[in-house]
Amino acid sequence: MPALFTQALVFSVYPIRDFRDFLRFASDLVSDGSNIAYVEAGASNLPPLLLLHGFPSSTNQFRDLIPLLSSTHHILAPDLPGFGLTTTPANYTFTFASITDTISLFLAALNWTNYAVYIFDYGAPIALRLALEQPDAIRAIVTQNGNAYVEGFGHPFWDPIMALWENPTPAARALLRDNVLTLNTTRYQYTAGVPSADLPLINPTTYTLDYLQNLYTPTQKDHQLDLLYDYRTNVDLYPRFHEYFRKSQVPLLAIWGKGDPAFVPEGAKAYKRDLKDANVMFVDAGHFALETKVHEIAEEVRRFLGEKGC
């Protein structure tokens, strides 16, 4: 898909208003050869807040959230390697360890050393891997359908992916290629579990952009299949994530779309097992809860981070 076309789509779905005082689009070349596209918003003297998106999206998923938080926070939202407008070297290995290393280099290049995080989907294990490397860097966590517990996996959504983990054959990859990495399944991730009255709030441009920008070409599909297979390594790290929670007692708000078929409500409730003061709440939404409940979520994020001094 032509880069200029994808760039135009990204800009077209941002709300139409004057962002010049608080928002800019940029990119940064880090030492592993990746060029990280990102959105930065809010004054640099405000508390820093890192936004990490999920599969199969990009920072575009935060297009409505960023204006609601930029008056209280200095926001940094990168496109992860394999997504959005970020580019990687031809020999880049698409694993969660590699993506975490790249984002770590990116944060170091921008001198982001102490910050709160808003995590979603793939952004959750990446942020928690960062936390294992630098436990004192993360001041607070907002997890919106960002899983860290086996109880959070929704079935049957994860069944074919877990089958790939158990038996990584070409046939298992082909099943996911033909049935998961599609426009129909991308649409499903946006619409499943959403109350029927809210479905008209979901702009078809969002899931169409996700598909065309991140899943469309054979090479993109290969990268995404590699990441779906590698997701199992995040599960292997769950005991270490839980130990980090218990030792740090990092302030955490779990705000969850309760209709999410991929990461179900039990995953949100499980955080309270290791974080005694974790705040857990639910909104009547699906996986991409920001599409229909962005104002409600933004209000809770501002309240939570304000109470924690973050």
Catalytic residues: 287
**Residue 275: exposure state from Cβ atoms within 10 A (0-12, 13-18, ≥19):** buried
Establish whether the linkage from the previous residue to 15 is cis, with ω within 30° of 0. no
DSSP state of 67: H
CA atoms within 13 A on the CB side of 156: 2
| Helical packing angle, 96-109 and 123-133, nearest 10° | 70
Query: Which of 292, 293, 288 lies closest to 263 in space, CA to CA?
Result: 288
Q: How many CA atoms lie within 13 A of 162 on its CB side?
A: 10
Percent helix, strand, coil in the chain, to 5, is 50, 15, 35
Q: Are 258 and 287 in contact (CB under 8 A)?
A: no
Q: b or e along 216-248 (b: 16 or more beta carbons within 10 Å of the residue's beta carbon)? A: eeeebbebbbbbbbbbeebbebbeebbebbeeb
